[in-house]
Structure 1
Amino acid sequence: MGRGVDALLAGLREGRDCARPVTAFDTTGFAHAQGCEVPEGALHTPAGTGLGRAAAFAVDATLLALQDAGLEASALRSVPVAVAVGTTDGESRDLDDIVGLEVAGATGDGSAVLARRVQPLRLSAAVARHLELERAEVLTLQTACAAGNYAIGYGYDAIVSGDVEIALTGGADALCRKTFTGFYRLGTIAPDVCRPFDADREGILTGEGGAVLVLETLASARARGARPYAEVLGYGLACDAAHPVAPDVAGVARTIRTALDRAGLEPADVDLVSAHGTGTRANDVTEVGALREVYGDALPRTVSIKSMLGHAMGAASALGAASSALALRHQFVPPTINHRTTDPACAVDCQPNVSAPAALDVVQNHGLAFGGNNSVVLFARVDRGTAA
């Protein structure tokens, strides 16, 4: 969709489909290879840093977030700051390049440098190093496709406990051959587009990107004249470990209930669910089944931005969080695009194909991962309960 808040907001409102042929690696031998790559030129990699693509996403998203929040990096250098970045693959994209160097017979110092960059901690460390932070708590969370929400939960706790004044939280991942091939061999890569909750859905489209949110107390935001997008009410985490890849209804439902309990909310308080919504047969039925366990027949509208952005792995729920905050700020529901016929086995109002204005007070954002790593974060309109 591009770079920055305005590009994301415009894309969500118009229901932009970001699917295109994969160019990140040689797709020879795959029957189909559609994905959702960040366009050429959209990622701004700081010069001379030697960052891998995933770390560059984390750094660039952080710089955009600080700019949007009206914060100068220099003002953060001597204050306690948490930096939490979620990821699935870290710099696994570099492994593709190492293999390419070996095939070309050009191994040596180049492959050694790439190998050193693969360590996932480099994603959050790159942010702290680029901002020259002196009192940073630095953490990279590797809870796969739930990792962005995990990072937001970590930042929330760090703020609430008073350990830090600012938390920079989100997720970053770069499209890589390893993950594409893994999902392809599982038979879960869609041949053309992603159709969550649709009777004809055929799977995910792998994507990439980065999203970072600035968290601080409301008092801090007001003192410096900032206007928050949303309030983080609470979150829930669970790891049911029921199966290596198959999702579990009870585990997802438990995560939702935990988030609601910690936020002090009832199910009826939730206006919109930003679902994990991968478009696979198993995920969509399981996720809606878990929602029914909690909400009964009174399901909130349930949408999937992966229909537009693809599945950005560790960045997915961070992008979902940013989208949830934008939906609250601008009072609209993003669409689930490519929709034709709702599958009765996962029947939800998925706001098919076009966005719509809506009165939203609370949005529930899902991140579900292999191994039963589940995460749910609840966001609210800052002025809910008062005149807007």
Structure 2
Amino acid sequence: MPALITASAVRTCFGTGADTFAALLAGRTGAGPLRDGGPGVPGVTTGYHLVDGGGSAFKASRLLTDVVAEAVRSAGLDPARERIAVLVGSGLGELSAVERWAVDGTDVPPRALDFEAAVRAALPGAAEVTTLSGACSAGGHALALAQDLVELGAADAVVAAAADTATRSMLAMIGRVSPVPASAVRPFDAGREGVLLGEGAAAVVVVPERRPSGRRPARPLARLLATGLSCDAAHPTAPDVAGIGRAMRDAFDRAGRRFAEVGLVVAHGTGTALNDPAECRALRDLGCAPLVTAVKGAVGHTSGAAALVNLDVAVRCLEEGAVPPVVGLRTVLDEGADVRFVQDGPAALPSGLVQLNAFGFGGVNAVTLLEAPS
């Protein structure tokens, strides 16, 4: 059963969702010198950092509080009258705080690691707050569960949120697999150098399409049709084309739609040696040619927040009728020769569904379908 998205809030290296979309349309990149990496992080010199900085202590929690507060305010939610659940997805959580404890012994209260306090700072009356981990598709999994909860009547509204920031552990990992430090993320480019981390958070409000009163919420941003999931565990880190395809087909089966109806795909597009060819093959296997864009060249890889950052961009594409180009894409990789990437400048949004891809380590995949509200 479709649900509605009634609010969306984002923080990236460019600022708000509106700031981010404007930067995407202009083809800008937020890549800059690495901050907060500390000593002993070889192979990484660049990151996609927040404009305001604000220090590294519990930065993910602060970002999360900001976006949840904005989304709740925009949607007009009232916890005194509605049962509101909050689901927070994250790939790394507050790992940076644990790393600091390991280095200098800074006290880290265990309850500070699950995001409940950060959420309740923005929404004190939340009925329940659940933190879940789903690697780089965590936000997509939170969105899927949010739709389940409103469909089953277990909540009147659900805030699906996600937040992640750079950690020394993750920086060290990406530095070890890159022969030279990447200067920027270049999704689907033949000369791509690898992934870089972006700080980010996002929150969306999901409500039933019809309230018990029979009234439709005012001014929904989009219809949330379905999210397809798969967890193929084919390899600890490498993506699996078949597993990605299963998540895509699951989304279409749940929505009762066909891939031929898709006008736009907001791709995962990590700019890595393995993800980009696999994502291209999975799209080509479904036998259609929608427009394809990707945002990580502009904002970096926001880890668990990536799926919901993609959703915010998709909602703005629906509102503006324009699709931003893939920042950093110059020469399309061989596997993407038949894929209709948006390059060089914005394109007009085709009619039809919008598909959002999010894939994580271990084959934890989430594919979401949206359409404009009727």
Normalised by the size of structure 1, how large is the TM-score? 0.86
Partner of 2:94: 91
For the residue of structure 2 that corresponds to 1:84, the secondary structure is strand
For the residue of structure 1 that corresponds to 2:225, the secondary structure is strand
* TM-aligned CA distance change 1:337 to 1:67, over 3 Å: same
For the residue of structure 1 that corresponds to 2:140, the secondary structure is helix
In structure 2, what residue type is equivalent to 1:237?
Answer: L
* TM-aligned CA distance change 1:9 to 1:226, over 3 Å: farther
In structure 2, what residue type is equivalent to 1:381?
Answer: A
Counterparts of 2:37 and 2:129 in 1: how far apart (Å)? 31
Partner of 1:255: 247
Correspondence 1:260-299 to 2 at 5 A: 260-294=252-286, 296=287, 298-299=288-289
Counterparts of 2:217 and 2:43 in 1: how far apart (Å)? 53
Q: CA deviation at 1:81?
A: 1.1
Listed as ranges, the gaps of 5+ residues in structure 2 are: 1-12
Correspondence 1:313-328 to 2 at 5 A: 313-328=303-318
Partner of 1:232: 224
Among candidates 350, 356, 371, match of residue 341 of structure 2: 350
Partner of 1:181: 172
In structure 2, what residue type is equivalent to 1:18?
Answer: G
Asked whether 1:197 is paired with 2:188, we answer yes
Partner of 2:10: none
Partner of 2:17: 5
Identity of aligned residues (%): 34
Correspondence 1:54-203 to 2 at 5 A: 54-69=60-75, 71=76, 75-100=78-103, 102=104, 107=105, 111-112=106-107, 114=108, 116=110, 119=113, 121=114, 123-133=115-125, 136-187=127-178, 191-203=182-194
Per-residue deviation, residues 8-33 of structure 1 (Å, max 9, x unmatched): 22122222201011111225662441
Higher helix proportion, which one? 1
* Total equivalences in the alignment: 360
Per-residue deviation, residues 19-59 of structure 1 (Å, max 9, x unmatched): 01111122566244111111116x7x9xxxxx821121111
Q: CA deviation at 1:343?
A: 1.1
Partner of 1:307: 297
Say whether the 8 Å CA contact 2:37–2:171 is kept in structure 1.
Answer: no
Q: CA deviation at 1:149?
A: 0.5
Say whether the 8 Å CA contact 2:27–2:345 is kept in structure 1.
Answer: yes
Q: Which has the higher contact order (CA 8 A, sep 6+)?
A: 2
Counterparts of 2:214 and 2:294 in 1: how far apart (Å)? 32
Counterparts of 2:120 and 2:112 in 1: how far apart (Å)? 17
Say whether the 8 Å CA contact 1:196–1:277 is kept in structure 2.
Answer: yes
Among candidates 328, 338, 342, match of residue 338 of structure 1: 328
In structure 2, what residue type is equivalent to 1:13?
Answer: L
Partner of 2:7: none
Per-residue deviation, residues 148-178 of structure 1 (Å, max 9, x unmatched): 0000111111111111111100210111111
In structure 1, what residue type is equivalent to 2:275?
Answer: N
Asked whether 1:26 is paired with 2:26, we answer no
Instruction: Name whichever of 54-63 and 1-10 sits farther off.
Output: 1-10
For the residue of structure 2 that corresponds to 1:272, the secondary structure is strand
In structure 1, what residue type is equivalent to 2:366?
Answer: S
Q: CA deviation at 1:300?
A: 1.3
Say whether the 8 Å CA contact 2:174–2:196 is kept in structure 1.
Answer: no
Counterparts of 1:33 and 1:115 in 2: how far apart (Å)? 31
Counterparts of 1:198 and 1:158 in 2: how far apart (Å)? 39
Q: CA deviation at 1:238?
A: 0.5
Say whether the 8 Å CA contact 1:183–1:189 is kept in structure 2.
Answer: no
For the residue of structure 2 that corresponds to 1:281, the secondary structure is coil
Counterparts of 1:29 and 1:153 in 2: how far apart (Å)? 35
